[in-house]
Each structure stands twice: as C-alpha cells, then as structure tokens.
Homo-oligomer: A and B are copies of this chain.
Amino acid sequence: MSQSGDIIRKLSKQGYRLTPQRMMILEVVERADSHISAEEIYTQILARYPHLNISTVYRTLELLKELGLVTETDLGDGRVRYHSMKKGRHHHLVCQKCGAIIDLDESVLSPLKVALLREYKFSADLRHLAIFGRCANCR
C-alpha cells in the first residue's frame, strides 16, 4: 500500500479516525478485481478478522464515497457495488434482456455534463452510472 499514506493523511486532516475496520475495508476495495458488494467486503474481512459489523462496512463505504476514494453503482441486480476511484472512471450499459454489461468510457457523458452546467448551472455528479436498455443483439 504505497498510497496508504495519502489516504491516512486525507482522513486525519479532516478529523476522521484511522480504525482497523476502515483500513481493512479500504484495502479490500482497492484490492478487489472490480466491482465488489458490501456483503462481499464483509465476508472477506470476517474470514481473517472477526471484529467487524456489516453496518460499519456500509458506513465506511459512505465515508469513502464522500472522500472521493470509491464510487458506487447499481447494476440492477438488487445490490449496490463499489469500485476504487484509483482504478479509473467509467460507466456501464446494462442490457435488460440478456443481462450483458458493456463498459462505457467516461467521455460519452461529458457533453451531457457540459449541457447541464451551461443550461441549468447544475454540476452533475456523473461518476459511475449504469444506463439500462437493450443491447445490439436484443432488439
């Protein structure tokens, strides 16, 4: 964790405490192959360290979101998934028929972001979106 120092500083600078639970949760999210659910984070940590409650996982993920370290997205499978911001921004197209998930570059949404800013003076938080619809094969 060469980058932990940054995060530790970021936390303590804003008056947040560095607890073992927080460190482990952040570590699991950063290590994760890709999008990981709260339950998955919870059971992974519990296997090695039994002093953790699921509500702490949710509260910590909320904090990491506010600090801009993770993003969340709902791919439509009844649970929210989290993703380390360090691993790059992107979005998803989710086919409602076959379930295919197509990754989408951030740039596709920049015109929308610009339009909302210009026409409504609204700064949209389009960090990690899931857009539902039908893929090429399912129409």
User: In this complex, what residue of B is CB-closest to A124?
Assistant: B133
Q: How far is the CB of A137 from chain B (nearest CB, A)?
A: 9
Task: Report, as a range, how many residues of chain A touch the other chain.
Answer: 20 to 34
Contacts of A116 in B (CB 8 A): 93, 108, 131, 133
User: In this complex, what residue of B is CB-closest to A105?
Assistant: B119
**Known contacts A93-B116, A126-B131, A131-B126: A136-B121 contact under CB 8 Å:** yes
Question: Which residue of the partner chain, among B111, B119, B124, B131, contacts A124 with CB atoms under 8 Å?
Answer: B131
Contact with B along A121-139 (1 / 0, CB 8 A): 1111110000111111001
Q: How far is the CB of A96 from chain B (nearest CB, A)?
A: 7
Contacts of A124 in B (CB 8 A): 93, 131-133
| Those of A77-136 within 8 Å (CB) of chain B | 93, 95-96, 102, 104, 108-109, 111-112, 115-116, 119-126, 131-136
- Asked if A132 and B139 sit within 8 Å, CB to CB, the answer is no
Please give me the 4 A-B residue pairs with the lowest Cβ-Cβ distance, nearest first: A121-B136, A124-B133, A125-B133, A123-B134
Interface residues of A (CB under 8 A from B): 93, 95-96, 102, 104, 108-109, 111-112, 115-116, 119-126, 131-136, 139
